[in-house]
Amino acid sequence: MSAIPKLFVTAATGQLGRGVIGALREHVPAAAIVAGVREASLDTPAVAALREQGIEVRVADYTQPATLANAFEGIDRLLLISGNDIGHRVPQHRHVIDAAKAAGVTLLAYTSILHADTSPLFLAEEHRDTEQALIASGVPYVLLRNGWYTEVFTWRLPAALASGVLAGASGEGRTSSAARADYARAAAVVLATEGHAGQVYELAGDAGFTLGELAALVRKVTGKPIVYHDMAPAAFRDASVEQGVPEPFARILSDTDAGVAQGALFDTSGTLSRLIGRPTTPYQDTIGAFLTTPSDGDGNTGHG
């Protein structure tokens, strides 16, 4: 390994990837960072912004193994940010793991899902399979089991504000979410500092909230009479479809809410705040910023 390890971040044009690169810049010079992007995104402002920072950009498409072989040449540590093509992610992630192994990468960190090994969530299945493939590969690994981004909840707010009803199916279940930037910072720490090989980090916000509490926060910030309406998961799914949410996404939403009711996205370990060296961003701050400057909302679709 060279004196300063060469660090590779996949999906560097995405919201998490951009955050990781920003956080990495606080640890290492730009020359130590390589950003992986899809060929299709090469001419975008996100890639131009990476290059302006002096960061090398290489094409690394999870569906194109040849690009990965070239991309990982000379790389010491790699962050694999999970893809967003739900249902097709395991073979894509396997391509990355195989190429990393062939390139002699000495550490592969993967952004998984909170409590992946026991999670009842549908979304956990691909993460569980990827984790197993990574462990079986023999490449030294770190599992970044990310909880929910608080930003994910903002997608529900426009409809709630319009109707006065925040609908869901998570009952009194609490979600220990944190800002996306908190998870980005944790990934950067793991990539840029020593001693993380073999670790499984359950990453979540310091405090959890129910959807009822979220509705109360929205009421407080906006002054509008928003209430939380708890539904059975199937009824919530059907109601979401009726409101125009695509059926596959409505299924994931109701499955996730049902999992939250069972505590699937709740965690009190404090691992994320310990890794980043400060408390996680309170959900009130992230939601409050969205409500007071709606154009800052990222339109996140809420998949994990």
Ligand X SMILES: NC(=O)c1ccc[n+]([C@@H]2O[C@H](COP(=O)([O-])OP(=O)(O)OC[C@H]3O[C@@H](n4cnc5c(N)ncnc54)[C@H](OP(=O)(O)O)[C@@H]3O)[C@@H](O)[C@H]2O)c1
Positions that interact with ligand X (CB under 6 A): 10-11, 13-17, 38, 40-41, 61-63, 81-85, 92, 111, 146, 148-149, 152, 180, 300, 303-304
Cβ at position 238, least distance to ligand X in Å: 23
Identity of the residue, 87 or 277, whose beta carbon is nearer to ligand X in the bound complex: 87
Q: What distance in Å separates the CA atoms of residue 26 and residue 189, rounded to the nearest whole number?
A: 10
Q: What distance in Å separates the CA atoms of residue 5 and residue 120, rounded to the nearest whole number?
A: 37
Cβ at position 37, least distance to ligand X in Å: 6
Cβ at position 271, least distance to ligand X in Å: 15
Identity of the residue, 284 or 300, whose beta carbon is nearer to ligand X in the bound complex: 300
Identity of the residue, 65 or 140, whose beta carbon is nearer to ligand X in the bound complex: 65
Identity of the residue, 181 or 227, whose beta carbon is nearer to ligand X in the bound complex: 181
Q: What distance in Å separates the CA atoms of residue 187 and residue 181, rounded to the nearest whole number?
A: 10
Q: What distance in Å separates the CA atoms of residue 126 and residue 124, rounded to the nearest whole number?
A: 6
Give the residue nearest to ligand X (CB).
Answer: 14
Cβ at position 194, least distance to ligand X in Å: 25
Q: How many C-beta neighbours within 10 Å does residue 2 have?
A: 8
Cβ at position 39, least distance to ligand X in Å: 9
Q: Degrees (nearest 5) of the Cα angle 98, 138, 59?
A: 30
Identity of the residue, 10 or 240, whose beta carbon is nearer to ligand X in the bound complex: 10
Identity of the residue, 178 or 217, whose beta carbon is nearer to ligand X in the bound complex: 178
Cβ at position 177, least distance to ligand X in Å: 7
